[in-house]
Amino acid sequence: MKSSITLDKYAPVGQIDERIYGSFIEHLGRAVYTGIYQPGHPSADENGFRQDVIDLINQLNVPIIRYPGGNFVSGFNWEDSIGPKDARPRRLDLAWQTSETNQFGLHEFMQWLDKVHAAPMMAVNLGTRGIDAARNLIEYTNFPKGSYYSDMRRKNGAEAPFNIKTWCLGNEMDGPWQIGHKDAVAYGKLADETAHAMRIVDDTIETVACGSSALTMPTFGSWESTVLDIAYDQVDYLSLHRYYGNQDNDTPNFLAQSLDLDDFISGVVAICDAIKARKHSKKTINLSLDEWNVWYHSNDHDAQDAKWQEHPHKLEDIYNFEDALLVGSMLITMLHHADRLKMACLAQLVNVIAPIMTDENGGAWAQSIFYPFMQVSTLGKGTVLTPIVKSETYGTKEFAAVPYVDGVAVLNDAGDTATVFAVNKSLDTPQEFTIAAGDFQFDQVTLSSQFAGYGLKETNEDGHMRLADNTSYYLADDGVHVTLAPASWNVFQIKVQ
């Protein structure tokens, strides 16, 4: 099969906001306890932070991390997680029906972020709580000194304010499963009033309002319109969440789900812009895809879990090779929307539907999905060029015309290097793939790598998976010609003028 991507020098989609390579740590399962925090573990530092995990996270180059939930935040009292550890209460977490010891809290999270070189995306509880708790929290985190909560922070060891810039106004408040679930009008008013109060304390913050927790929610569309109608002036970003699974073991259809993500993002952009037009507003609402991933492998196990355990094994999906291909396609789709998608969080980061897993009695390891994410977060910097991809298509039970090849090209800020990411979704046929130079001149291929040759259901517990060189390329006058292996993730870097 033949396919191509043409680099369009003069029609950029937009500058990449690197916060789209964010991730997520929730107090859920073993994300925190025995994940990032395990005092007494051989690799733990003086704070109990696992260095083996920090080292892997630093390879992922994650610039922003959402915390502390997720569904967890909708029943969370932030005050439980500060002050002397032996005085912190042990609570029932109603969202996941586990026991929360609060031994890792706000100060520990902020200290740990320094080690992984990331900024916080902090969520406030708009489920069981509201304006009062949120305004107190931001006084605690962002007010310099001389007030009740800012002085409490200083007494607890942080003289300087944390200056948290990005705030999520609750989590998935459209979902009936959410503790304190609300209808769109009630949520819109609460989000508006909460953000208003928080901005009185610190007017430099930016806020993310809850959009739909999935494209399939019955309230999708009307939820976004109503919330933005009410809270437009107080909202900077609208969230969207999306997880996919291959429950039916239909890989061609599974790999096609990036088209669903594309529709979801386009739909939310259209709704934001419709409200903008109706309000005659000069302000544009951008998007935060602050939960996305594959999630289904652990569902059966989790349905049988005993309640009220401390950090049980939950949502511990073991990812296989086909999951990595879809994650790669989702990243490409996100880059196609670089003009409006400004933040995103791979959900989650450690142990819970995560690229990084830990053994509480052993080491940490990278799942299959680690590799495409690492390559895009490290190399996908600069401006996305309009993707002109030519590919044959296939049909599935959900999608009529799925291109076999997904691709995107990014030009770095210096304008001298183009990076191309591509997935070949054909399970049995290689692609004779051309990266056409368009109005660029191609000087040299500096990277030609592939993640290929593994079984679709192959996993990486033993750490055998590797990115490999793809030596099949040659540089010609019209561009680079290369063979993409069946079922493959591919990255190329080219010196351009």
Minimum distance between the CB of residue 69 and ligand AHR, rounded to whole angstroms?
5
The total of other beta-carbon atoms located within 10 Å of residue 110's CB is 16
C-alpha 107/C-alpha 157 separation (Å) is 9
Q: Judged by CB under 6 A, does residue 101 bind ligand AHR?
A: no
Residue among 26, 100, 139, 291 flagged as catalytic: 291
Q: Which stretch, 63-71, 102-110, 402-410, 449-457, contacts ligand AHR (CB under 6 A)?
A: 63-71
Look at residues 174, 190, 60 and name the one whose alpha carbon lies nearest to residue 125.
190
Of 31-39, 65-73, 445-453, 461-469, the segment contacting ligand AHR by CB under 6 A is 65-73
User: Which string of x and - marks every residue 153-182 that binds ligand AHR (by CB under 6 A)?
Assistant: ------------------xx----------
Q: Tokens standing for 46? A: 């003086």
Our CB check for ligand AHR shows the closer of 343 and 494 to be 343
Q: Are 12 and 386 in contact (CB under 8 A)?
A: yes
Which residues ranging from 189 to 218 are in contact with ligand AHR (CB under 6 A)? 213
Stretch in the footprint of ligand AHR (CB under 6 A) among 67-75, 323-331, 337-345, 389-397: 67-75
Determine the Cα–Cα distance for residues 389 and 139; give it in Å rounded to an integer.
49
DSSP string, 82-105: SS-GGGSPPEEETTTTEEE--SS-
Position closest to ligand AHR via CB: 70
Element (H, E) at 271: helix 258-278
Question: Is 69 among the residues that bind ligand AHR (CB under 6 A)?
Answer: yes
Query: Of 13-21, 69-77, 268-276, 466-474, which segment contacts ligand AHR by CB under 6 A?
Result: 69-77
166 - beta bridge partners? 121, 206
Choose the catalytic residue: 172, 193, 224, 458: 172
Considering the complex, state which of residue 314 and residue 336 has its C-beta at the smaller distance from ligand AHR.
Answer: 314
Looking at the DSSP bridge assignments, the partners of residue 6 are 388, 436
CB 95 to ligand AHR: min, Å: 7
Does 406 contact ligand AHR by CB under 6 A?
no
26 scored as a contact of ligand AHR (CB under 6 A): yes
Rounded-to-integer distance, Cα 227 and Cα 289, Å: 17
Nearest CA to 380 out of 62, 23, 10, 53 is that of 62
**C-beta of 290: minimal distance to ligand AHR in Å?**
9
Rule CB under 6 A: is residue 142 a binding residue for ligand AHR?
no
DSSP output for 376-401:
HHHH--SEEEP-EEE--EE--SS-S-
Instruction: Compute the least distance from the CB of residue 36 to ligand AHR, in Å.
Output: 15
> Is the sign of the CA dihedral 357, 35, 370, 463 positive or negative?
negative
Q: Which is nearer to ligand AHR, 213 or 450 (CB)?
A: 213
- Please, what is the minimum distance in Å from the beta carbon of residue 91 to ligand AHR? 16
236 binds ligand AHR (CB under 6 A): no
Give residues 333-362 in contact with ligand AHR (rule: CB under 6 A): 347-348
CA 108 to chain CA mean position, Å: 22
Phi, psi of 264 (to 5 degrees): -60, -50
For residues 97 and 378, which CB has a smaller minimum distance to ligand AHR in the complex? 97
CA proximity to 79, closest of 102, 113, 110: 102
Task: Determine the interface stretch with ligand AHR among 66-74, 139-147, 247-255, 406-414 (rule: CB under 6 A).
Answer: 66-74
26 annotated active-site: no
The candidate with the shortest Cα–Cα distance to 448, out of 463, 436, 435, 429, is 435
C-alpha 191/C-alpha 362 separation (Å) is: 43
**Residues belonging to the chain:** 497
| Nearer CB in complex with ligand AHR: 168/482 | 168
Q: C-alpha dihedral over 456, 458, 463, 465, to 10 degrees? A: -30
When asked if residue 71 is in the footprint of ligand AHR (CB under 6 A), the reply is yes
Please count the residues of this chain forming the interface with ligand AHR, following the rule CB under 6 A.
10
Min dist. Cβ of residue 288 to ligand AHR (A): 13
Q: By C-beta, is 178 or 426 nearer to ligand AHR?
A: 178
Q: Is 322 designated active site?
A: no
CB of 147 to ligand AHR, least distance (A): 32
The region of 64-72, 273-281, 337-345, 440-448 touching ligand AHR under the rule CB under 6 A is 64-72
Q: Which two tokens stand for residue 454?
A: 């593994």
Residue 257: closest CA among 292, 220, 212? 292
Eight-class DSSP state of 74: G
Residue 360 Cβ vs ligand AHR, minimum distance, rounded to whole Å: 21
- Can you tell me the distance from the alpha carbon of 399 to that of 160, in angstroms, rounded to the nearest whole number? 53
Residue from 100, 291, 317, 322 touching ligand AHR (CB under 6 A): that is 291
Using CB under 6 A, pick the residue from 68, 70, 75, 130 that binds ligand AHR. Answer: 70
Residue carrying the six token digits 């692609």: 431
Residues 269 and 428: their CA atoms lie apart, in Å, by 36
Q: How far is the CB of 109 from ligand AHR (least distance, A)?
A: 16
Query: What are the angstrom distances between the C-alpha of 370 and each of 93, 169, 319?
Result: 29, 29, 10
Active site residues per annotation: 172, 291
Name the residues that contact ligand AHR, by CB under 6 A. 26, 69-71, 171-172, 213, 291, 347-348
